[in-house]
Amino acid sequence: MPIKQKNHRASDLAGTAYAHISAAIIVCVFAFMLIVILRYGFGALSLRFLIEEPDPSALGASKGGILTPLIGTVVLTLIGILIAFPFALATAIYLGFYAKKGGFNTLVKGAVDILSGVPTVVIALFALLVFTLPQFGFFSVMIEGVEGTNRAYGKSFLVAGITMAIMILPFVIKSMEEALKAVPASYMDASLALGATKWRTIRKVILGAARDGLTTGVILGMGRIVGDTAIVWLTLGGSIRMTGRKPWYAPENWLSTLKNGGSTLTSYIYYASPAGEGNQFDVAFGASLVLIAIILLLNLAATLIGKAGAHKNG
């Protein structure tokens, strides 16, 4: 016989096994991580752990809780997203509805792509360079008492928040651009044909229809801020406590708190780990557990909002 039928049985079997085993490995790695974090971290969890300020003076002992890092994470996330949101939305609107092919549009898209690839530690380094300039001293505090120095400290919640905003901009822009693109062109036609201006159409019709997608973009951006460490370490400082005027939570001291350093859950974990100051595995894992819970909640919210949107438009 000039031709012979091929037998694919063996390669099919191998391919199937390869796919299944790979998937199983992913599950195993995740399960292992979760077990370790739970095993070490769960013991540290308690109400006291959540509502007490850390006490870094007690070396080696797991004294104190994670109140200020937790508040730090929340404050930093809010500052970052509040700054990033209007810029990201406006840029996404520009890319989606005003940009013409070529020229400036290509430049904006390129900038967004490149910015999304810059490691956060590099962004942090850049921010540190800028915000230690005395002209930007009002974002942090001026260094005093050192002869011949006229520099700003360059580390504060405000500085870190602005830096976080820059870091998440490309991701939020892209996700918002997708959300705007997903709005049917027929909505635009409907509004324009009724004589609404383009801007009114975008504001009243497109943004409303894309709201769920836009919210998802915001939440994903928040998730990135919550999880970042490099920017915190460089631009918020290595202190576990709030370094502003005491007490940090008194309203008259809020501005001072924001203009000074502190910590977040990620920097606390670094601090408590063997790489940092202490060798306190249990509190590091306890804080990790809280951190992961926050990120999971944010992702869950994004998924739920996405599903609700799909249901509504489906």
Partner 1 sequence: MDNTSKNIAIRIKNVTCSYGGKPAVRNASLDVPQNSICAFIGPSGCGKTTLLRSVNRLNDLTEGFALSGSIEINGENIYGNDAASHVEALRRNIGMIFQQPNPLPTGILKNMYMPIKAHYTGEKKYFYEKAVEKLKTAGLYDEIEHRLDRTALSLSGGQQQRLCIARALMLEPKIMLFDEPCSALDPIATYKIEDMLLELKKERTMIIVTHNMEQARRVSDYTAFFYQGEIVEAGRTNDVFFNPKTELLDQYIRGRFS
C-alpha–C-alpha distance, residues 27 and 144, integer Å: 53
Q: Does 133 bind partner 1 (CB under 8 A)?
A: no
Tokens of 136: 């930007």
Q: Which of 204, 250, 255, 279 binds partner 1 (CB under 8 A)?
A: 204
If we measure between CA atoms, which residue out of 86, 46, 81 comes closest to residue 64? Answer: 46
In whole angstroms, the minimum distance from the beta carbon of 165 to partner 1 comes to: 31
Q: Does 86 bind partner 1 (CB under 8 A)?
A: no
In whole angstroms, the minimum distance from the beta carbon of 207 to partner 1 comes to: 12
Q: Does 193 bind partner 1 (CB under 8 A)?
A: yes
In whole angstroms, the minimum distance from the beta carbon of 88 to partner 1 comes to: 23
C-alpha–C-alpha distance, residues 50 and 287, integer Å: 9
Give the range of 76-84, 186-194, 261-269, 290-298 binding partner 1 by CB under 8 A.
186-194
Q: Does 184 bind partner 1 (CB under 8 A)?
A: yes
C-alpha–C-alpha distance, residues 66 and 283, integer Å: 9
Alpha helices (runs of H) in the chain, residue ranges in sequence order:
9-41, 47-51, 67-93, 104-117, 120-131, 157-181, 185-193, 198-200, 207-209, 211-227, 230-235, 254-258, 265-272, 281-313
Q: Does 196 bind partner 1 (CB under 8 A)?
A: yes
In whole angstroms, the minimum distance from the beta carbon of 111 to partner 1 comes to: 22
If we measure between CA atoms, which residue out of 266, 277, 120, 93 comes closest to residue 188? Answer: 93
Contact 262, 243 (CB under 8 A): yes
Contact 124, 234 (CB under 8 A): yes
DSSP secondary structure code for residue 5 in this structure = -
Q: Does 307 bind partner 1 (CB under 8 A)?
A: no
Q: Which of 189, 246, 250, 274 binds partner 1 (CB under 8 A)?
A: 189
Residues 205-264 that bind partner 1 (CB under 8 A): 205, 208-209
Tokens of 125: 């380094």
Q: Does 191 bind partner 1 (CB under 8 A)?
A: yes
In whole angstroms, the minimum distance from the beta carbon of 175 to partner 1 comes to: 20
Q: Does 103 bind partner 1 (CB under 8 A)?
A: no
Per the DSSP assignment, residues forming a β-bridge with 282 are none
| Contact footprint for partner 1 (CB under 8 A) | 100-101, 184, 186-187, 189-198, 200, 204-205, 208-209, 312-313
